[in-house]
Structure 1
Amino acid sequence: MDTLWLTNPTLAYRDWQAREAAGADRRPFAARSIVQHQAMFEHFRRHLMARETSVVTFGADDIEAFWLSAEARTYSQATRMRYVKLLDRLCRHLVFTGVRQDNPAAPFLAVERWPDTEPTPQYLDADADARLQAYLQSPANDLAQLRSRAIVATFLATGITAAEARAARIVDLVPDAHPPYLFVPAHGPRDARTVHLPEFAVPVLRAWLARRKTLPIEGDRLFTLTPDGRPITDMSFGRIVSSVLEAIGEADAEMSPRTLRNTFGRRQLLAGRSREEVSLMLGLSSHRTCDRVAATIPVDRPL
């Protein structure tokens, strides 16, 4: 029996992912998928801790309770399927290594299905968008709150992805330019782009930038949670977005940076910008995402 699953399941999962875990085709997962899987595992493990159980002892009732949690209730069909596949893969491994005797995820895998059509993009409606913008302009009480508001303001004001926010450097944010902007370097298939900052985001981003320059943090990342300058994980970004959305009483949408990215794109479309323009602002080479977001706009509001 691998006792590390009993004493340090986070480390055990990370080690398993790095050494053995693979998809249905037996090919190792990509680095990005591994990061996502680790974040999902940690989210589920914290749920188990709150229910005073563990990866060794949880059952089907714990999975059912997970679906009823505030965040999981907003999950799309595809996200639920990813969680079920992750838990099934995990439990099969634990059974194989003698850590568990059963696989409570198997019945869920039998009934869950990948969506036949693409899910409707999650976004904040205009009222929730306005409330969030107003909240981000209110004074922060401490460093952590200032950083959280700056992070959420960046997603809401620029539409960048979590990966782009992780990679952002101090020099990329220029709130005192005319107009103020965030520079997003080229990466992968995406060209470099400059996104102008709307008025609501400038005060909090200016305040964060001034504070960030005084912090004893290694490196020059714009956002980091640790003194050694390590990039923020998807899980941490999700918690930050979730806490801010909960503060304004918003619980209907998926609480993730992607929801804020879709909100940004939808706001631009409602302002009269073309799909081509908004796709470029989002760093996309196709209009597919904009078309899906545009489909959420009532037909009596022509673009």
Structure 2
Amino acid sequence: MDSLWLTNPTQAYRDWQAREAAGADRRPFSARSIVQHQAMFEHFRRHLVARGATIASFGTADVDAFWQSPDGRTYSQATRTRYVKLLDRLCRHLVFTGVRLDNPAAPLLSAERWPDQEPTPLFLTAAEDARLQAYLLSPPDDVAGLRSRAIVAAFLGTGITAGEARAARLADLWPDATPPYLVVRAHGPRDTRTVHLASFAVPILRAWSARRATLPIDGDLLFTLTPDGRPITDMSLGRIVATALAEIGFSGAEPSPRTLRNTFCRRQFLAGHSCDEVSQMLGLVSNRTCDRIAATLMPEATRCETLQAPHAEASE
């Protein structure tokens, strides 16, 4: 029996992913997929700890309870399917190595399937977008509150991803430039890009940039929750966004950074930007995301080519 799965399952999973884990075609997972899988595993592991279960002992009841957790209730069909496939791969490995005697995820595979079509992307309505922008214009004086609203402003006013927010450095933000902008450094297939700040985001990001420069925090990350300068976690970012959205009465199924990114994307289309321009702002390597957002503006359109005509300059 591999005892590391019992004493340090997080490390055991990371080692297994690096050495052996592969998809159905036996090809190793990409670096991005490995990071996503590790985050998903850690989320499920913490759920088990809260229930008094372990990687070696959990059963279908624990998985059912996971779907009923606050986060689990927001999962799309595709996300649930990804979790079931991950747990099935994991349990088959644990049975093979003698850590488990059974695979409780196996019967769940028949109940979960990939959706026939991608779900409509979630975004704030124009009224909700306006309320959240107004909410950001009155930041609190305390450091935690100021930081939280600056994080929300970064998502809503630049369209960056959670990973890009975690990696942003203090030197990447230029709120006093003309126009103000954020440098998003190259990562994975995405090249370095410059994103102009929406006007409503400038005051709060300027205030946070000035405050952050005075704080006794190690390193130079723009957003961090700890004095030692460790990157902020996806879970913390999600909670910060969810709290802000709750303040403006948002009741959508996914109060997350992705919803704010989709809102930013949609706002650019409404301002007259073309699909190529919006894709560049978002750092996208394909038009897939923009296609889906564009379809929410023009239901009869299925691709961004319909938005490639000359356009008026955006107000931001």
Interval of TM-score (by shorter of Structure 1 and Structure 2): 0.7 to 0.9
Q: Which residue of 2 aligns with 1:98?
A: 98
* Counterpart secondary structure, 2:110: helix
Per-residue CA distance 1:138-157 (angstroms, 9 max, x = gap): 33363333322222211111
The aligned amino acid for 2:83 is Y
Residue 44 of structure 1 corresponds to 44
Aligned residue number for residue 269 of structure 2: 269
Per-residue CA distance 1:111-170 (angstroms, 9 max, x = gap): 211223233212222233223223333333633333222222111110112332233221
2:70 counterpart letter in structure 1: A
TM-score of the aligned structures, taking structure 1 as reference length: 0.87
**Hey, what does 2:148 align to over in structure 1?**
148
Please state how far the C-alpha of 1:216 moved relative to its aligned partner. 2.9
Normalised by the size of structure 2, how large is the TM-score? 0.84
Report deviation, 1:94. 2.1
Secondary structure in 2 matching 1:219: coil
Quick one: which amino acid aligns to residue 113 of structure 2?
R
Matched, 1:283 2:274: no
Distance 1:129 1:77, change over 3 A: same
CA distance in 1 between partners of 2:188 and 2:6 (Å): 39
2:221 matches 1:242: no
Structure 1: how far apart are the matches of 2:251 and 2:12?
Answer: 33
Shift, 1:281, TM fit? 1.9
Report deviation, 1:293: 0.3
Q: Aligned partner of 2:65: which letter?
A: A
Distance (whole Å) between structure 1 residues aligned to residue 211 and residue 291 of structure 2: 39
Is the 1:217–1:226 contact (alpha carbons within 8 Å) kept by the matching residues of 2?
yes
Q: How many residues align?
A: 302
Matched to 1:204, the amino acid is I
Q: Report the CA distance between 1:187 and its aligned residue.
A: 4.2
Identical amino acids, percent of aligned pairs: 75
Q: Which range moved further: 245-254 or 22-31? A: 245-254
Structure 1: 5+ residue runs without aligned partners? none
Moved over 6 A (4+): none
Q: Deviations over 1:197-226 (max 9, x none)?
A: 223212221121112212233332222334
Map of 1:135-174 to 2, 5 A cutoff?
Answer: 135-140=135-140, 142-174=142-174
Q: Is the 8 A contact 1:124 1:253 kept in 2?
A: no
Q: How does 1:172-211 map to 2 (within 5 A)?
A: 172-211=172-211
Q: Where does residue 296 of structure 1 map in the other structure?
A: 296
* One-letter identity of the residue aligned with 2:200: F
Q: Distance in 2 between matches of 1:156 and 1:72?
A: 24
Preserved CA contact (<8 Å) 2:139 2:145: no
**What residue ranges of structure 2 are gaps of 5+ in the alignment?**
301-305, 308-316
CA drift of 1:37 comes to: 1.3
Q: Distance in 2 between matches of 1:248 and 1:9?
A: 39
- The one-letter code matched in structure 2 to 1:82 is R
Report the equivalent of 2:2: 2
Whole-angstrom CA distance in 2 between matches of 1:234 and 1:77: 21
Corresponding residue number in structure 1 for 2:303: none
Match of 2:17 in 1: 17
Does structure 2 retain, via aligned residues, the 8 Å contact 1:36–1:234? no
Alpha-carbon contact 1:40-1:235 (below 8 Å) kept: no
TM-aligned CA deviation for residue 101 of structure 1: 2.1
CA distance in 2, matches of 1:134, 1:52: 43
1:296 is paired with a residue of what secondary structure? helix
In the alignment, the residues of structure 2 paired with residue 183 and residue 262 of structure 1 have an alpha-carbon distance, to the nearest angstrom, of 19
C-alpha distance in 2 between matches for 1:252 and 1:64: 22
Query: Bigger CA drift: 50-59 or 71-80?
Result: 50-59
Counterpart for residue 117 of structure 1: 117
